[in-house]
Amino acid sequence: MRHGRGRTTLSSEDLHAPRERLTPETIAIHQATVSLMEELEATDWYRQRADDCDDAELKAILIHNMNDEMEHASMLIEWMRRNVSEFDVQLRRFSKTKGSIAGAGD
């Protein structure tokens, strides 16, 4: 974590090179990447809370919220697939793989 200008930021929120040296494409991909990380983290949080919840109605709400976060993550993955050519290549390579996923790798 970094502290600056009155706020705390996570390293993933910061750019690792000066913004003026980055292309608009790189900045957009960074925004999508950070957003995807946040959606996946939220999915994990909701799943854990649902597992720990004793109230059936609240558990159903938490699972619903978890599924919403999965929808958001899926939209970001699709955006990345459309905008990052190598991401598209790798998704096509591993999507719907039968057998060992690791075995389909390099």
The token pair that represents 62 in the structure block: 């938490």
Sites in the chain below the pLDDT cut of 70? 1-13, 106
Structural tokens at position 30: 């960074």
pLDDT at residue 5, rounded to an integer = 58
Q: How do residues 30-52 score in pLDDT, each as one tens digit?
A: 999 999 999 999 999 999 999 99
Distance CA 81, CA 78 (A): 5
Q: Phi/psi of residue 7, each to 5°?
A: -145, 160
Type and span of the H or E element at 92: helix 85-94
Query: According to the model, what pLDDT value does residue 7 have?
Result: 53
* 63, two tokens: 């699972």
Tell me if 33 sits within 8 A of 26, measured CB to CB: no
Within 10 angstroms of residue 51's Cβ, the number of other Cβ atoms is: 10
Q: What's this model's pTM, rounded to 2 decimal places? A: 0.81
* CA 70 to chain CA centroid, nearest Å: 9
Residue 103: its pLDDT value, please? 84
